Structure formats: C-alpha cells, structure tokens
Amino acid sequence: MRRCPAAPSALLLAAATLALLSFAPAAAALKLQVDGQAVVDQLMHLAQWSDDPSPAVTRLLFTDNDMKARAYVKQLMREAGLQIREDTMGNVYGRLPGSDPTAAAVATGSHTDAIPGAGAYDGTVGVIGGIAALRALREAGFTPAKPLEVVMFTSEEPTRFGLSCSGSRTMAGLLDPAYLDTLRDVNGSTYLQAATAAGYGAASSAQMVAGARRTPADLAAFLELHIEQGPELEKEGLQIGVVTAIAAPAALRVKFSGDGGHAGAQLMPLRNDASLAAAELAIFVEQAALGTGVIDTVATVGSWQVQPNAVNSVPRETALEIDVRDIDGPRRDGVLAAIKAKAAAIAERRKVRLQIETINQDPPAACGTEVVAAVEGAVRELGLSSKRMVSRAYHDALFMAQIAPTGMVFIPCRNGWSHRPDEFASPSDIARGIEVLALALAQLAGGSEGGSGSSGSGGARAEL
Ligand SMILES: [Zn+2]
C-alpha cells in the first residue's frame, strides 16, 4: 500500500509542484502499490535458508542454502513478470524490457549472501525490494523506455574465497582471473570449481570472468537500495539517506617476524619481539588516520595474530590486517603509503623481518549527479524526509560506479546494527525505500504510463 505523507494538502501541493519542476511527468504521476509487510514476509522466507539457526542468517556462496535462496529469488522475479538471466559468475538478473530494445539498461540490486551470524536485511532488502520496485512499476502500467534490471550480485561478502563483491567486481572488469585462480576456500576448491558445481562457470576462469563483464554501452545507470548500517537516519528521525559517495576500502596484511625465545630466559636487550613492532604500528595507524584532519578517513587494525601465542614465549611472528578507507582515493593512498613506510622503519629499528601484502585497494566512488537528482526528486515527490550522506561501508554499487552513473538509497535500520542476527528495518521504512527506488528508476529509464506492462491491481492514475 502506498504510504501517503500525513501533511496538510497545501504542503502536499507545494511539494508536488516542486517535484514536477525537475521530475519527468510520467514518473511523477505513477501510483505505486508497495506492500511493506509482504516484502518483509519474503525477507523472512528467504532468511530460513541459513547455515545457522534463526534468527541468525549465514549464507555462503554456492552452498545448498545459497542455491535455495537463489531459486526463491528467481521465483519472485518470475512472479513479478521479469525475464531471468544468469551469468557465468553466478549473478542473477531479472529484466523488465524497455520500449527501446537497443537502449542501455537502468539497473538496481544488491546481494543475498550473508556472513556468519548475520541478519535478514543486509543486501536482501535491495534484491527483494528491487524486485518489488520493478513489479510496482509494471503493475502501475509503466513501460520504461530503457530496460530495467534487478540484479542479485553473487558473493558480495568475502566469506568463502576472501574476495568481496565477486560479481560486481567482475562486471566492472576489475577482477584478474589469474588472481581469482590463486584463491581457495576451506576445502581447497577454486571459484571456478565451486561455480561449475553450482551450474555456473565456464571452460576457464578467464572465460568465466569475461562472461560476466558489463560495459557502459549496456548499462546506463545503477541505483542500490540498502539498509544504512549506521545510526544517523534513525537518530535524526529521517526516512531516506541519499548517498553521494562511497568510501574506498583498502586492506593490508603486515607480518613482523622475530626470533622468539623463552619469556624468562631471554633478556630484554637480546629480543626482537614481533608483537612490539606490531603494537607500534597499530598506534601509528590511528595517528595516520587522525592526521589527515578529515572525518572521512578511517583506519582499523581489526585482526591480530601472534605466534606462538603463549604467555611464556616472546612473540616470534605477529600478523596484522589493517583496513583503511576514505571517500578521497589519493588521501586514502597517502595513509597507506605512510603505514608501509612506518612499518619498514619499525622493522629496521627493532631488527624484525617485514612482509607487506596489499589485500585490496579499491577506488572510491562519487555518485552520479543525475542519479542523486533522481533519488532526491523521488523523495520530494513522495513527501519524505532525507539527507545526503556518505556510504562508509562498501557495496556492489562501488564497483558498478566504474561502469555507469551510480547512486544508493539508504533506509534506517534499528540502532544502526547490521551483520548481526537482530538486524532490523521496519516494514514502513522498507516500503518507502522501495517507492523511492521505483520512482528514481522510472525517472532514469524514462518511459510512459499505460504501456503494455500493466497487469496488476490499481493501474496508473494521476497524482493530482
Ligand atoms: Zn550489504
């Protein structure tokens, strides 16, 4: 059901007039039917396919539960009247054809895989909600000029192969098949082997990666709906976050190796303690992030492994994983370079050996101005409250931005929680997010009401 804003009619009229100034009439006039509770029911249905007991959701790439979840997503796409296509990497597409069959598509979507012990909303809202948005447009009698697509991106989470955003990274041409071949899961399988067993894949990793490539010629714009995964919208009582930039993630693996020794017998001047080198570097990581003077720079030492990890042993080897993010790529890279230089200086002074490996160093994304404008137009049209914000977590949108003008729509989630079983977004917030998504997609795709797509209840009628 459409959520009508509880505002006086004069305000409504003013808001609608304002929206019509910048919003295409066909999109502005759409009467959408979005049932938030029905979408939540679908999310809960999807959540049953989990390797951990409810309410936790654990769904790893190409496992039995992932395959069952994929089948359900395809069923929902079919029921929404979408044409289904799957690529070699395992990305699943549902497509609503446009009146211009040669036009590049306008796409939405997100992921349905879930890290161990996660919840039912991260990513899934953008897939199930994306299907609901296309369904609502179709049922409102809207025929897009450009084709509309909803994508279930394969393996946004890095759990199985240690590689995040496998699907969207490949679409953007940023996955080297030779590198992909070096990755193994806990069973020693490669991505190609796992994909082939799941019914995807190709004759080689190179062919598999090539088979999932998208280009600007076939993708006109991308817009992802997602829970905020932060507390700002809820705290400020706002309904929609309009994302303007996605922070650039990078991660380093730094290993210091010393000679170890007995904690009692080895005297202090003789030691080259690997953990003390790591401790110095960890403190520097914080200083380096704070040192930019910009709130958008963040750096974390989130993983710390000590060998032999015994109370009576001088640490022989300490491996750190360091995550650095910023919305400004060169500034983020400056922090990475400073951390590497500091690690080398510490290693020399403390006489420990040093190994540094770059796990990933991805580019940031500025959202496309036309996509941001479409989202803000939809927000105005629906009379919702919103603010512009930065996505500090990364998403498939980060990689889609390498191909096409991209944006994101955030909705509030309880306490900003995600990646935990009590993750929650309300049915009404989800419905509003889907309505914003649908109107913005309609705006980006262009098109008209009263086309051949109408099959559902309500049909199209003018707003005013
Ligand atoms: Zn996500």
Contacts of 102 (CB under 8 A, 6+ apart): none
Residue 230 Cα, ligand 1 centroid: separation in angstroms?
12
Distance CA 459, CA 136 (A): 10
44: left (phi over 0), alpha (psi -120 to 50) or beta: alpha
* Distance (Å) from CA 121 to ligand 1 centroid: 8
Q: How far is the CA of 147 from the centre of ligand 1 (A)?
A: 25
pLDDT at 456: 34
CA of 155 to the centre of ligand 1 (A): 10
Predicted confidence at residue 70, as pLDDT, reads 98
Q: Distance from the CA of 307 to the center of ligand 1, in angstroms?
A: 33
> From ligand 1's centre to the CA of 110, what distance in Å?
7
**How is the chain split into domains, by residue range?**
9-247+364-448, 248-361
Positions in the chain whose pLDDT score sits under 50? 1-20, 451-464
pTM: 0.84
Query: CA-to-CA distance for 353 and 188, rounded, in angstroms?
Result: 29
Closest to 1 in 3D by CA, of 132, 142, 143: 132
Query: Which residues, other chains included, contact 448 with Cβ-Cβ below 8 Å and sequence gap of 6+?
Result: 26, 99, 142, 143, 145
Strands 386-391 and 298-307, sheet pairing: unpaired
Which pLDDT score, from 0 to 100, does residue 22 have? Answer: 61
| Helix (H) or strand (E) segment spanning residue 210 | helix 205-211
Question: Which stretches does DSSP call E strand in 28-104?
Answer: 57-59, 83-86, 92-96
- Measured in Å, residue 122 CA sits from the centre of ligand 1 at 5
* Residue 215 backbone phi and psi in degrees, to 5: -130, 165
Tell how far the Cα of 419 is from the centroid of ligand 1, in angstroms: 9
User: Among 434, 430, 423, which residue's Cα sits nearest to residue 120?
Assistant: 423
- The per-residue pLDDT for 28 is 66
Looking up tokens 């110095």 gives: 280
Q: Give the three-class secondary structure for 64.
A: helix
375 CA → ligand 1 middle, Å: 19
The DSSP 8-state label assigned to residue 146 in this structure reads S
Do the first three CATH levels of 9-247+364-448 and 248-361 match, i.e. the same topology? no
Architecture of the 248-361 domain: 2-Layer Sandwich (3.30)
Count of Cβ atoms closer than 10 Å to residue 266 Cβ:
15
Contacts of residue 226, Cβ cutoff 8 Å, sequence gap at least 6:
110, 122, 123, 125, 126, 391, 395, 408, 409, 410, 411
How many angstroms is it from 371 CA to the middle of ligand 1? 20
Could you tell me how many residues make up the chain? 464
Task: For residue 265, give the 3-state DSSP assignment.
Answer: coil
Centre of ligand 1 to C-alpha 273, Å, is 39
Q: What is the pLDDT of residues 138-164, one digit of tens each?
A: 999 999 999 999 999 999 999 999 899
Ligand 1 centroid vs 203 CA: distance in angstroms? 30
Peptide bond into 249 cis (omega under 30): no
Contact partners, residue 287, CB within 8 Å, separation at least 6: none
| 153 Cα–ligand 1 center, Å | 10
Q: 307 forms bridges with which residues in the sheet?
A: 317
Q: What's the gap in Å between 20 CA and the centre of ligand 1?
A: 33
Tokens found for residue 421: 């079983």
CA–centroid distance, 65 to ligand 1, in Å, is 18
Residues 288-299 have pLDDT tens digits of 999 999 999 999
- Compute the distance from residue 245 Cα to the ligand 1 centre, in Å: 16
Closest CA to 45 of 129, 111, 120: 120
pLDDT in the model for residue 442: 97
Could you tell me the two tokens for 172? 């953007």
**Sign, CA torsion 390/391/393/399:** negative
Q: How far is the CA of 61 from the centre of ligand 1 (A)?
A: 14
* pLDDT tens digits, 337-360: 999 999 999 999 999 999 999 988
Q: With respect to CATH, is domain 9-247+364-448 assigned 3.40.50.1220?
A: no
Classify strands 105-111 and 148-153 as parallel, antiparallel or unpaired.
parallel
* pLDDT > 90 fraction of the chain, expressed in percent and rounded: 86
